[in-house]
Amino acid sequence: MIKTGDKIPAMKLMVATAEGPREADTGELLGHGKVVLFAVPGAFTPTCSAKHVPGFVKHAAEIKAKGVDRIVCMAVNDAFVLGAWAKDQKAGEAITFLADGSAAFTKALGLELDLVARGMGVRSQRFALVAEDGVVTKLFVEEPGGFEVSRAEAVLEAL
């Protein structure tokens, strides 16, 4: 599993934009400046939709006021689903939605969650991290079923 001090792996993924899916390099997206990346098990799932993303939308300005250049939400879903979810969540330009459709990036981070037995495939664990110029400076990984350390308020407090 990735840890504090590690460099974020560079891979090609997709981001949801108003114009549709666009290829993005994680080295570019997460490798410059101060970035908060938070990951959820899936778009449109209960905790992710009711608490996780809304918290980051609500506190985006406060988080950015702490010197954060970009807030990124990642899920093991495709960019079309994440685009629809971003609209549903009224995230606007506050959050970039990163689609890890095949869980390749999640696996490279060592933060995959096997939900095959529940019919959901391989997903991401719920986590948040802070990276500065592509190096992880803080990492918050939830216990299974938890929603404490990766929520926006906890990340804001840690900044």
pLDDT at 119: 67
Question: Among this protein's residues, is 48 annotated catalytic?
Answer: yes
The structure's pTM equals 0.95
The answer, yes or no, to whether residue 107 has pLDDT greater than 90, is: yes
Residue with tokens 């929520």: 151
Return the C-alpha torsion angle 81, 87, 89, 91, nearest 10. 110
The mean pLDDT of the chain is 94
Distances (CA, A) of 82 to 2, 91, 152: 24, 11, 19
Distances (CA, A) of 143 to 20, 27, 66, 74, 127: 34, 27, 26, 18, 9
Any idea where the domains of the chain sit in the sequence?
Answer: 12-158
- Given 14, 16, 40, 48, which residue is catalytic? 48
Question: pLDDT tens for residues 65-99?
Answer: 999 999 999 999 999 999 999 999 999 999 999 99
User: What is 12-158's CATH number, 3.40.30.10, 3.90.330.10, 3.40.50.9100, 1.10.150.670?
Assistant: 3.40.30.10
Q: Which of 80, 89, 71, 59 is nearest to 128 (CA)?
A: 71
